[in-house]
């Protein structure tokens, strides 16, 4: 019996297909292999997406944020209503049109923007992993929410 928790992790430059069964988790970079596996399990499977995004554009160089950023520019950081509306529209679009289940969010400043995204993800049940920059080693480290 297959666990219906099957997904495709899609990045901007590459895809990893993840198939979860009672026998374990299998990954492949071949779309053909993934589709054959998904076809074998039929309606018991659901495709899911995972995104790798920066919170705000232009604040740091983040090569792993292959899916861009949520905020291109924030005119007024005190305009919480506009920031929350933008975050809601971004997450809602990804949730409804791409079956977004998980977002890897590279934290690039502006706490008010971060709080807005977390609030919307909580509402939609989207899993969040925050990635914080470690100045000492020059790499990002995860914080699962």
Q: Is 2 inside any structural domain?
A: no
On whether both 87 and 119 belong to a single domain, the answer is: yes
The answer for residues whose C-beta is within 8 angstroms of residue 42's C-beta and 6 or more apart is: none
Structure pTM? Answer: 0.66
For range 74-101, the mean pLDDT:
86
Give the least confident one: 4-13, 22-31, 40-49, 111-120: 4-13
Domain match, 29 and 74 both: no
Q: Indicate whether 39 belongs to any domain.
A: yes
**Are 123 and 107 members of one domain?**
yes
Domain co-membership, 17 together with 59:
no
Is residue 87 in a domain? yes
Residues 72 and 140 in one domain: yes
In this structure, the answer to whether residues 35 and 75 fall within a common structural domain is no
Backbone φ and ψ for 4, nearest 5 degrees, come out as -75, 15
Alpha-carbon gap, residue 56 to 58, rounded angstroms: 7
In a domain, 1, yes or no: no
Task: Name which of 12-16, 113-117, 135-139 the model is least confident about.
Answer: 12-16
Return the closest-CA partner of residue 53 out of 125, 126, 124.
126
| DSSP string across 69-116 | EEES--S-TT-HHHHHHHHHHHHHHHHHHH-EEEEEEE--S-HHHHHH
Could you tell me what percent of the chain has a pLDDT over 70?
64
d(CA 127, CA 142): 13
- Measured in whole angstroms, the distance separating CA 75 from the mean position of its chain's CA atoms is 25
Q: Are 64 and 132 found together in one domain?
A: yes
- The answer to whether residue 92 sits within a structural domain is yes
Provide the residue range defining the domain that includes 82: 51-144
Per the DSSP assignment, residues forming a β-bridge with 145 are: none
35 and 95, same domain (yes or no): no
Number of structural domains the chain divides into:
2
Spacing of C-alpha 40 from chain mean position: 27
Q: Are strands 49-56 and 69-71 parallel, antiparallel or unpaired?
A: parallel
């Amino acid at each position: 019996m297959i666990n219906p928790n099957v997904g495709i992790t899609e990045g901007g430059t590459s895809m990893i297909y993840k198939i979860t069964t009672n026998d374990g988790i299998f990954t492949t970079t071949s779309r053909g292999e993934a589709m054959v596996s998904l076809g074998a399990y039929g309606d018991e499977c659901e495709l899911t997406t995972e995104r790798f995004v920066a919170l705000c554009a232009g604040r740091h160089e983040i090569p792993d944020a292959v899916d861009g950023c949520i905020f291109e520019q924030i005119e007024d950081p005190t305009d919480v209503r506009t920031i929350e509306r933008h975050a809601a529209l971004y997450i809602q679009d990804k949730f409804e049109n791409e079956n977004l289940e998980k977002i890897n969010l590279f934290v690039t400043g502006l706490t008010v923007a971060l709080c807005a995204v977390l609030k919307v993800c909580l509402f939609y049940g989207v899993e969040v992993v925050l990635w914080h920059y470690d100045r000492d080693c020059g790499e990002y480290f995860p914080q699962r929410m």
